[in-house]
Structures are given as structure tokens and as C-alpha cells.
Structure 1
């Protein structure tokens, strides 16, 4: 509706110019209130979005703090475990060194005992061989004595007491 048509319609309805001023002022006030309300709404929306963003940032910061604290605790636990494992490794290495030293001593002792053992075996085998040779010689001497005694008896002589080498 154009202003002239509006003016004619208002005149036909019996409105006076004072009413027009009141209507225009009321319309202006209404328009101002609407604009102020719109600005207030937009400001409120922006404020809400800003508050939401700030709340999200705050929550993100809190989560980061929690994660950071958890990481620090986990790191402390891991560091402690690593320290304990290193100490245990040092103890095991020391035990290993002692075991190697003991093994070396035992190995040297075993070698010495093997040498002594071999010497004893060699001596035993040598003595057994000598004993066998002695038995053979004793048996040969026994036969020789028996032969000589028989020859004495055949010659008419009496032999002296019989000598037995088996008891000696």
C-alpha cells in the first residue's frame, strides 16, 4: 500500500492527524523494539555460541590435563619398572659372572682330575700288564722246577723241600 492510499484509507476511517503521529510513533517504537529484539537475539545467539565454544575448549583443556596426568603417571610407572628391570639385569649379570668363574674353576679342576685319572689308569694298566707277565713267568718257573725235580728223582736223588711259588 502506498502512503497516499494509506492516508486516504485512514481519512475514510475517520482518523485525525494526531492519530497519525501516534501511529507513526507507535510503529517506530515497535520497529525499534523489533530491531532491538533482533539485535538482542543475535547477540544472545553469538554469546551462546561463544560460551559453547569456550565450554568445549575448557572441556578439551580438562581432557588434555587428564590425559597428560595419566601419561605422566604411566611414564613414572614405566620408568620405575625399567629401573627395577635394570637392577635385576645387573644382579643376573653379576650371578652370571660368578657362575662363569665357578665354571672355569670346575673346568680346570676337572682337567686336572682327568689328567690324574688318566695317570692312575695308565699306572693300573701297566701294573696289570706286569702282573700278567709275572704270572706267566711264575707259571714258567713252576714248570721248570717240576721238570728239574722230576729229573732229580729220575737220577735217583731226593730233592729238597718242594718250593711253591703260588703262595709267594
Structure 2
């Protein structure tokens, strides 16, 4: 029996290291899993951080582009407003000049009508005096003053 008890003792002594080895293996496996999970979480956090950095950089670039475009648009609006102001001033000046010219034209037309009446009166006086007035083609310009010459009264 001593060999049986020796065998049992040897067997139990052999099983304990196997049990310890098994527990060590399980602990190492669990630790490995946790390490891998931690590494995955860290990798995901790092990737998320990198995405955030890329998004932040893209935001900064987009903001810069937007602000530059806005500044250019504001300058363009200012230039357009300046041009509109100049055009408005030019238009007012042109309208004033146009009104003055219309008034001069009205005055000239009134003077022409007065001169035409004077020419007609003088022509009538010449005809009454028995003189022949100058024909319309012999007047001072290519445009006839007054109307067509009146016929001479019969004597």
C-alpha cells in the first residue's frame, strides 16, 4: 500500500502544479483579453481624437474660407454702394442739365416764334408798301423762316 499511497501522493503533487498552471493560464488569458480590450478602446479613442482633429482642422479651414469670402463680398458691396452714389450724383447732375437745356429750348422756341411773327409783320409791311420781299430760299440758312412767301396783291 505504500506504493499506492506513494502513487497517490505523487499524483496529488503532480495535480497541484497542473491546477496552478491552469489557473495561471486562465489569468494570463483574461489579462490578455483585458489588455486587448484596453488597447482597442485606446485605439478607438485615438482614432476618435484624430477624427476630431481632422474635423477641427476642416472647420478652421472652412471658417477661414467663409470669412475671406464674406470680407470680399463686403468690399464688393461697399464698391457697389460707392458706384451707386456716384451714379446717383451723375444722374442728378444730368437731370439738372437736361432741365436747363429744356428751358433754353423753350426760350429759343419762343424767340423763334417772336422772330417769325416779326418777319411776317415786316413781310406784310413790305408788301403793303409795294415792295417785293426776299424769297424763302434766300434767307439766312437752309431752313425757311416763317412760312411760304405770300403772293403779291394785285395792283
TM-score normalised to structure 1 length: 0.71
Give the match for residue 17 of structure 1.
Answer: 5
How far the C-alpha of 1:137 sits from its partner, in A, is 4.1
1:3-35 deviation line (CA, Å, top 9, x unaligned)? xxxxxxxx7xx9521111111121121112112
Q: Distance in 2 between matches of 1:41 and 1:33?
A: 12
Q: SS of the residue aligned with 1:24?
A: helix
Give the match for residue 73 of structure 1.
Answer: 61
* Alignment match of 1:166 (pick from 124, 127, 133): 133
* Alignment match of 1:115 (pick from 103, 113, 117): 103
Q: Distance in 2 between matches of 1:125 and 1:104?
A: 31
1:50-82 deviation line (CA, Å, top 9, x unaligned)? 110110110110111011011101111211121
For these two proteins, the number of residue pairs brought into alignment is 135
Do residues 30 (structure 1) and 18 (structure 2) align? yes
Q: SS of the residue aligned with 1:90?
A: helix
How far the C-alpha of 1:131 sits from its partner, in A, is 2.4
Give the match for residue 46 of structure 1.
Answer: 34
TM-score normalised to structure 2 length: 0.77
Higher relative helix content: 1
Q: Distance in 2 between matches of 1:127 and 1:84?
A: 63
Q: Does the Cα contact within 8 Å between 2:123 and 2:133 map onto a contact in 1?
A: no
Q: Which runs of 5+ in 1 are unaligned?
A: 1-10, 143-163
Q: Distance in 2 between matches of 1:135 and 1:18?
A: 169
Do residues 61 (structure 1) and 49 (structure 2) align? yes
Give the match for residue 97 of structure 1.
Answer: 85
Structure 1: which 4+ aligned runs deviate by more than 4 Å? none
Larger relative contact order (C-alpha < 8 A, sep ≥ 6)? 2
Q: Work out which of the two has the higher radius of gyration on C-alpha atoms and give 1 or 2.
A: 1
* Alignment match of 2:120 (pick from 117, 132, 136): 132
How far the C-alpha of 1:105 sits from its partner, in A, is 1.1
Q: Distance in 1 between matches of 2:49 and 2:97?
A: 70
